[in-house]
Amino acid sequence: MTDQPITLPDDFFFGAAMSGPQTEGMWQAHGKLENLWDLWSNRDLRAFHNRVGSYAGNDMGTRYAEDFRILADLGLSSCRTSIQWSRLMDADGRLNPAGAAFYHDLFAAAREADIEVFVNLCHFDMPSYLFRRGGWESREVVEAYATYARTAFAEFGQEIVHWFTFNEPIVEPEQRYEHGGWYPFHHDFAQARRVQYGISLAHALAVDAFRELQAAGAMRPDARIGLINCFTPPYTRDDPSEADLEAVRMVDGLHNRWWLDLVTKGTLPADVIETLAERGVTLPVRAGDEAILSRGVVDWLGFNYYQPARVQAPARGFDEWGNPVFADRYVWPDAVMNQSRGWEIYPRGIYDFAMTMTRDYPELDWFVSENGIGIEEDRAARTADGEVDDLAYRVSFVRNHLRWVARAIDEGARCRGYHYWGVIDCWSWVNAYKNRYGFVEVDLMHGYDRRLKASAAWLRQVATTHVVA
Ligand code: FCB
């Protein structure tokens, strides 16, 4: 990989990725309902770093006009956030007009600042009353999501071009139901797959509603719909056994191909479903589901990239909870780690995934919808001007990833843009404010004030010239 400056195409866009639950705050304003993060925060604030729960986000709910101006000043042209289901809809599943007004105002402020908003509909933030009714395993809840999506399309259809049904739909089943990391802390592989299946149906129903409303003229003719996932390029040891490759197949199948097949073919990968069945894991398939899933084909895709998956053959067939095990983690001796987050930094993964896309899904446009580095000691070093001195790690992280993106584009990848995660520091689930991702600092000690970090000038330079030096 060259050290020379590289140039990205003129029409390549740069922007910011964020989400409603991590930025807005105002957790009870506008009649907002309790979502799963509020429920967990209310029950056990100790689960969150420094006891910072879901309540305040990064105060964007009151500062969005300022934030959009900051993004524009950094040379960015777009930003992706999410509507919170729990703010837009009331407890009867109808539009909450006060919530809708909030988003109309937010989108208007973005237009004013010349920032195009990409809207995602679900970022791990189901209203808690729907979780109590069975969550993604319940068809009633799947239908409720479809109604919510339809309502959002109808309400904002003349304002928004870029829509996404879900962010990282694989994380919800994994974190809540399989690895036990997030409320309700289950270790149930089969349940996680039922949840994954329910989300897949919900996605397809939302795409269907989108197409119908667009055909009826209720939405902009240029509107597009997509899905965003944290696709993880899977790797194993250099000299793999058959069993190692089998582990790769299943991890790739559940994390990547599941969603890629759904959004390009409207099906789920048969080999994965078959292997699951052989291990006693069946999906709650009903008559008519095939037709629903077939409507899940999207216009383009978002690729969140933080880390690769390194796997090997599992040492045992079942874990202590009786779940089938398909792969163990493989510790690559050369891995470079972000110690704050425990994630491997492997910029080449972005290129490898891009090349897989180019080979297997050559018609599909996509963009890097999240990429970024969160550092715990971010605010420890300051320049003479008082800026957070993050040049050493943040600039090199983004530079190295963008170089691989540029090479992939040169080799035919249909990658259209790059959104950095957390251009402005924000709340990160259980880690709260532990790791800072931003090019812009949020000062929690001074009313959430925003301040550019040393790296911000570099981002502005890249975003305005498209030259990555
Ligand atoms: C991703 C999530 C996003 C953010 C980043 C750091 O997995 O989509 O909400 O927390 O990680």
Query: Which pLDDT belongs to residue 2?
Result: 65
Residues 329, 362: Cα–Cα separation, whole Å: 30
Nearest in space to 426 (alpha carbons), one of 100, 130, 127, 18:
18
For tokens 């963008």, the residue is 402
Nearest in space to 237 (alpha carbons), one of 170, 307, 149, 331:
331
Residue extents of the structural domains in the chain:
6-468
Distance 250 CA to ligand 1 centre (A): 23
Query: Which pLDDT belongs to residue 233?
Result: 82
Bridge-based pairing state of the strands 300-304 and 440-443? unpaired
User: Is it true that the peptide bond before 362 is cis, omega within 30 degrees of 0?
Assistant: no
For tokens 């969550």, the residue is 135
Q: How far is CA 191 from CA 36, 173, 196, 467, in A?
A: 18, 8, 9, 47
Distance 412 CA to ligand 1 centre (A): 28
Residues 413, 367: Cα–Cα separation, whole Å: 10
Q: Which two tokens stand for residue 387?
A: 């800026």
Residues 368, 301: Cα–Cα separation, whole Å: 9
Straight-line distance from the first to the last Cα atom of the chain, in angstroms, rounded to the nearest whole number: 13
Bridge-based pairing state of the strands 162-167 and 440-443? unpaired
Distance 432 CA to ligand 1 centre (A): 11
Does ligand 1 lie within 6 Å of residue 59's CB atom? no
Which residues are within 8 A (CB) of 183 and not within 5 positions of it... i.e. 6 or more apart?
Answer: 36, 39, 40, 43, 47, 176
Q: Assess contact for 343 and 337: CB atoms under 8 A.
A: yes
Side-chain-facing half-sphere of 256: CA atoms under 13 Å: 21
Q: What is the CA radius of gyration of the chain?
A: 21
Q: Which two tokens stand for residue 295?
A: 């409507």
Does ligand 1 lie within 6 Å of residue 370's CB atom? yes
Residues 373, 343: Cα–Cα separation, whole Å: 9
Q: Looking at 41-161, which runs of residues are DSSP E strands? A: 78-82, 116-120
Q: Which two tokens stand for residue 77?
A: 């042209």
Does ligand 1 lie within 6 Å of residue 373's CB atom? no
The reply to whether the predicted model has a pTM over 0.75 is yes
CATH T-level assignment (fold) for domain 6-468 = TIM Barrel (3.20.20)
Does ligand 1 lie within 6 Å of residue 428's CB atom? yes
Does ligand 1 lie within 6 Å of residue 167's CB atom? yes
pLDDT digits (tens, 9 = 90+) for 174-200: 999 999 999 999 999 999 999 999 999
For 274, counting Cβ atoms within 10 Å of its Cβ (0-12 exposed, 13-18 middle, 19+ buried), the class is: exposed
Residue 106 dihedral angles phi and psi, to the nearest 5° = -60, -45
SS3 label, residue 151 = helix
For 283, counting Cβ atoms within 10 Å of its Cβ (0-12 exposed, 13-18 middle, 19+ buried), the class is: middle
Q: How far is CA 58 from CA 26, 135, 285, 453, in A?
A: 10, 27, 41, 16
Q: Which residues of the chain have pLDDT under 50?
A: none
Name which residue sits closest to atom 2 of ligand 1, judged by CA. 168
Distance 18 CA to ligand 1 centre (A): 8
Q: Which atom of ligand 1 is nearest to 428's Cα?
A: 10
Question: What size, in residues, is the chain?
Answer: 469
Query: Which pLDDT belongs to residue 3?
Result: 78
Query: Which pLDDT belongs to residue 1?
Result: 67
Which residues are within 8 A (CB) of 144 and not within 5 positions of it... i.e. 6 or more apart?
Answer: 93, 130
pLDDT digits (tens, 9 = 90+) for 204-246: 999 999 999 999 999 999 999 999 999 988 999 999 999 999 9
Residues 267, 273: Cα–Cα separation, whole Å: 11
* Residues labelled as active-site residues: 168, 370
* DSSP β-bridge partners for residue 6: 468
SS3 label, residue 314 = coil
Q: Which two tokens stand for residue 120?
A: 């995602």
Q: How far is CA 388 from CA 55, 391, 398, in A?
A: 26, 9, 17
